[in-house]
A and B are shown apart, each in its own frame.
Chain A
Amino acid sequence: MKPLIKVKALTRIYDTSQNVIAGIKDVSFEVREGELVGIIGRSGCGKTTLLRCIAGFEKSDSGEIFLDGKRVSGPGPDRFMVFQGLDQLFPWLTVKGNLIFAMKTVNKDMTPKELRERAEYFLELVGLSAWADRYPYQLSGGMKQRAFLARALSVSPRVLLMDEPFGSLDAFGRKAMQDLLLKLWEKTGITILFVTHDIDECIKLSDKILVFARGTLKYSIYNPLPRPRMVEDAAYREFLAKLSRMVEEEKDIAEGPAREPSINLKWADVILQ
């Protein structure tokens, strides 16, 4: 099967005055249509940078990104991003108004009736029907995140890019949003790339996991666990331990002398590249 997203030798280095190299370096991977990809790594390892490059907000220094065989050169609604932060709705529009604005901007042919009905459909999907006519300031953090999701899906992007989407929620809200995301993913079949620093979240949600460390892609692995994934399962805990070690490994390198990765990779069902 042809990959939907192809990232080839992508490099984006930021000029930092302190002589520290920051950004991402020589990152390559592929994502198939409909995959739910989790991107994980320690803070500052370049997860946001990668997502912003794919979204087209950052220019790469070298390397290329392809969506469906076409080279990505700037932002566009075929790759819709949900950012970090709760200020993504336009405060001058109601929740429904925000969805309608987005759809109207992307698709000029829709009639007002179609726009309204479609907005209502997506708000219903995320459980925000009752809040459709409220203004963003009247929504809680969790509701806002539902609204971001509804808006993102309403413009029918090929790929949904999510940067630590549930980072600001408490454990209950987080669980609810994870379930919601899975439900929507199963329903729409959309391709999702999401960044997280929560290993449990990454395991629960993703088909494929990209582990980043200091700007490079360290591991690209498939999640061997069948859905639904239960913390109680022995296989889950085993995978969790291994993924944790892969993510934590970088810490040892950062703190001690450089050495070869000591992890045994044989356990994973499939190892890419």
Chain B
Amino acid sequence: MKKLVSKTALIFSLAVLWEAVRVLGGYSELLFPSLRSIVLSLWAERAQLFANALFSLKLIGLGLFTAVVLAMMLALLCMSTKIFPGVITDIMAIMHPLPGIAILPVAILWFGIGIESILFVIIFSALWPLLNHFYTGFRSIPKNQLEVGRNLGLSGVKLALSVMLPASFPHILGGLRTGWARAWQASVAAELVFGAAGGQGGLGWYLYKKRFLMETPGVFAGMLLIIAIGLVVEYLIFTTLENLTVRKWKAVID
């Protein structure tokens, strides 16, 4: 409850600050729209925004899922072979600093202008931080716990699922958080850069159109929605997941 109050207060003060800067600075509505017009635009275009948000979320969901599966397999390979870790860490060192959006031109060359390219950028953006977190997590599992698992006769996939996964869950959760953020950023960035294929697009495409048409309140409305979705996912999904797992087990410091 206290948290809710402080969060509402924070949002409220940000809104006040926004209006104060706008009024005192005397900026034009085109550059710095009023909260009122942003909210009005948000409401007026709710159907369109909803469709675009849904499209983005589906794409991100698919991309993130693929990236998680890939990262998990690579991390497990790293744990079970001798040469793989070296190779993967080198590749990771090369790929990780590369912004996902930087490979968009390559993606377009390979997959053409369309959903596949955006998906590729999303997967690429999320894969490396995910792999990094998963691999770090697996390596930080207490040796005793792994050996208890092996002592019970577990090995391979069974050991991975029933011991390694829960034992490294704090890191896995951290990876999911970062991966989600990267995927979100990548999807918006990719659409902002080259728009959308066909009539379909996500929130990035929405921002692109609104900027093109100089409908500034619409640009901010789209941004507001992106932020809102981010907050909802963080508090509804990740925080809940955290409370049900690592916090309950005291695997993380409060």
- B-binding residues in A (CB < 8 A): 55, 57, 75-77, 79-81, 83, 85, 87-88, 90-92, 101-102, 105-106, 135-137, 155
Bound: A206/B166 CA distance, A: 38
Interchain CB contact under 8 A, A88 and B153: no
The secondary-structure label for the interface of chain A is loop
Give chain A nearest CB distance to B168 CB in angstroms. Answer: 11
Give chain A nearest CB distance to B158 CB in angstroms. Answer: 8
**Extra pairs beyond A91-B249, A102-B152, A106-B153 (18, CB < 8 Å):** A55-B151, A75-B153, A76-B151, A76-B153, A83-B144, A83-B148, A85-B144, A88-B148, A90-B145, A90-B166, A90-B167, A91-B167, A92-B251, A102-B148, A105-B162, A106-B152, A135-B248, A135-B249
Bound: A135/B247 CA distance, A: 11
Given the contacts A87-B142, A90-B163, A105 and B250 also touching, CB distance less than 8 Å: no
- On chain B, the residues within 8 Å of A83 by CB distance are 144, 147-148
| Of the residues A77, A92, A101, A135, contact of B153 by C-beta under 8 Å | A77
Q: Looking across the interface, which residue of chain A has its beta carbon closest to that of B154? A: A105
User: Which of chain B's residues 210-254 have a Cβ closer than 8 Å to chain A?
Assistant: 245, 248-251
- A-binding residues in B (CB < 8 A): 142, 144-145, 147-148, 150-154, 162-163, 166-167, 169, 245, 248-251
Number of A-B contacts (CB under 8 A): 58
Bound: A5/B142 CA distance, A: 29
| Of the residues A75, A76, A87, contact of B144 by C-beta under 8 Å | A87
- On chain A, the residues within 8 Å of B251 by CB distance are 91-92
Of the A-B pairs whose beta carbons lie under 8 Å apart in the complex, a sample of 5, sorted by A's number, is A75-B153, A77-B151, A83-B144, A90-B148, A92-B166
- On chain A, the residues within 8 Å of B152 by CB distance are 77, 102, 105-106, 155
- On chain A, the residues within 8 Å of B162 by CB distance are 101, 105
Bound: A55/B162 CA distance, A: 21
Bound: A88/B167 CA distance, A: 11
Interchain CB contact under 8 A, B153 and A137: no
Interchain CB contact under 8 A, B151 and A80: yes
Interchain CB contact under 8 A, A88 and B163: no
Give chain A nearest CB distance to B61 CB in angstroms. Answer: 26
Given the contacts A92-B245, A135-B249, A135-B250, A87 and B145 also touching, CB distance less than 8 Å: yes
Interchain CB contact under 8 A, B249 and A81: no
Interchain CB contact under 8 A, A75 and B150: yes
Q: Which 9 A-B pairs have the closest CB atoms?
A: A137-B250, A105-B152, A92-B166, A87-B142, A75-B150, A91-B249, A88-B144, A83-B144, A92-B249
Give chain A nearest CB distance to B149 CB in angstroms. Answer: 8
- On chain B, the residues within 8 Å of A101 by CB distance are 162
- On chain B, the residues within 8 Å of A106 by CB distance are 152-153
- On chain A, the residues within 8 Å of B142 by CB distance are 85, 87
Give chain B nearest CB distance to A82 CB in angstroms. Answer: 9
- On chain A, the residues within 8 Å of B163 by CB distance are 90
